[in-house]
Structure 1
Amino acid sequence: MGNSNSAHKISAQDKAILDMKNQRDKLHQYQKRITVITDREKEIAKECLKRGDTNKAKLALRRKKYQESLLAKTDGQLAQLEVLTSDVEFALVQKDVIFGLQQGTAVLKEIHREMGGIENVEKLLGENEEARAYQQEISELLANKMSNQDEDEVEDELEALEAELSSVKLPDAPATKIELTEREKAQLAKDRAQRRARERAAEQAAGPMLA
């Protein structure tokens, strides 16, 4: 009977693998749902640019980028956990796996909260008091959660959308792409960071007036 009972016990490794598979399934569910939302956020960014409202367009793209980065982060983390849980020396990395699963659960909860629903996405276009309060809340939230690389990629996407919507076509554009030097790249990143800091300061100053 002792052998029978031990056969039914779930090892720590089995439980970790099961938890990881559950997180992977949940992540796949979120990936499908969030695609609808991020597609709409990009459309909202275009609509805002057509209105001449660059700030709202950028906010929509920042929200989109943040959600995508959360999914990518969780996906990468789960891929790493798959390696750890299949390791023959599982006992040596058990604490790392458990900690990683705890982090994954926390991020999945954040993804669920961030997704909200399409009705929240539509508030990015709104002009009423409730919509402005929501926009301010999202802006403040993202200010502390996005990396400089994420912010730079948002700037690039915003510029690409502006070019896409622009009716002005430059004649005979050079076929070769001009590569920036490392110093020019550093200066561009610095200029962008300073501009973002000014924008956030202006948003914070405008916060009480929006309330």
Structure 2
Amino acid sequence: MGNSSSANKISAQDKAILDMKNQRDKLHQYQKRITIITDREKEIAKECLKRGDEKKAKLALRRKKYQESLLAKTDAQLAQLEILTSDVEFALVQKDVLFGLQQGTTVLREIHKEMGGIENVEKLMGESEEAHAYQKEISDLLANKMSNQDEDEVEDELEALEAEVNGVALPDAPANKIELNEETNVQLRKERARRREQERAAEQAAQPMLA
């Protein structure tokens, strides 16, 4: 009885470690593939800014940020699972490990779906009816899946790209204004969040008119 129980525990632990390694291998494959896509999304954002289309530029950066955050979140989760699966008290955390692996599989499927292909990335700057439908689909999807911090980082990157496209150097903040900048940043984040809510409300209000 004791030997059988011990063997079952070892078998469950070995399987969890194998599943974790398979997920990490797949994640690393996605990281290589998605780098090509996110690089293109950044280039599309630049091209849109040069054309004066800030809305599409921001959408490209939002999609890029979301994909990067999915990869980072999954990588952190797998790192935690690696610690749990190597724990000598594996039996005590087995349920948490299995649940974590299930979540990892779900997120990896989402990453695979989000990556699509370069042809989908090109639709972000398209003007056809199909491209507009795809842009709206992505915008609606991201509206519910990105945190305010993610959105703020997107706007920071957008401002940096605008400065780069326009050939404007961003000034460095003086060291003695760090506290003032922190207060200003809080106000800026609040203003950005308020503006985003207004934009989403406007889009929802306009939706029946487009139908």
The one-letter code of the counterpart of 2:127 is E
More helix by share: 2
Residue 121 of structure 1 aligns with which residue?
121
* 1:35 and 2:48 are equivalent in the alignment: no
User: Residue 11 of structure 1 aligns to a residue in which SS?
Assistant: helix
Tell me if structure 2 keeps the 8 A contact 1:50–1:165: yes
TM-score using structure 2 length: 0.90
The one-letter code of the counterpart of 1:191 is E
- CA distance in structure 1 between the aligned counterparts of 2:9 and 2:99, rounded to whole angstroms: 22
Residue 144 of structure 1 aligns with which residue?
144
Pick closer, same or farther for the CA change 1:156–1:72 going to 2, 3 Å: same
Tell me if structure 2 keeps the 8 A contact 1:71–1:111: yes
* 1:56 and 2:56 are equivalent in the alignment: yes
Residue 111 of structure 1 aligns with which residue?
111
TM-score using structure 1 length: 0.90
Pick closer, same or farther for the CA change 1:13–1:48 going to 2, 3 Å: same
Which string of whole-angstrom CA distances, capped at 9 and with x for unpartnered residues, describes residues 102-154 of structure 1?
Answer: 00000000000000000000000101111001000000000000011100100
Tell me if structure 2 keeps the 8 A contact 1:136–1:207: no
- CA distance in structure 2 between the aligned counterparts of 1:43 and 1:20, rounded to whole angstroms: 34
Query: RMSD between aligned alpha carbons?
Result: 2.2
Aligned pairs, number:
205
- CA distance in structure 2 between the aligned counterparts of 1:194 and 1:149, rounded to whole angstroms: 13
- CA distance in structure 2 between the aligned counterparts of 1:118 and 1:209, rounded to whole angstroms: 32
The one-letter code of the counterpart of 1:80 is Q
Residue 44 of structure 1 aligns with which residue?
44
Tell me if structure 2 keeps the 8 A contact 1:45–1:60: yes
User: Residue 124 of structure 2 aligns to a residue in which SS?
Assistant: coil
Q: Structure 1 vs Structure 2: percent identity of aligned residues? A: 82
* Stretches of 4+ aligned residues off by more than 6 angstroms: 6-10
Residue 67 of structure 2 aligns with which residue?
67
The one-letter code of the counterpart of 1:176 is P
Residue 174 of structure 2 aligns with which residue?
176
What pairs with 1:72-83 in structure 2 (closer than 5 Å)?
A: 72-83=72-83
Tell me if structure 2 keeps the 8 A contact 1:133–1:210: no
- CA distance in structure 1 between the aligned counterparts of 2:172 and 2:90, rounded to whole angstroms: 56
Pick closer, same or farther for the CA change 1:149–1:196 going to 2, 3 Å: same
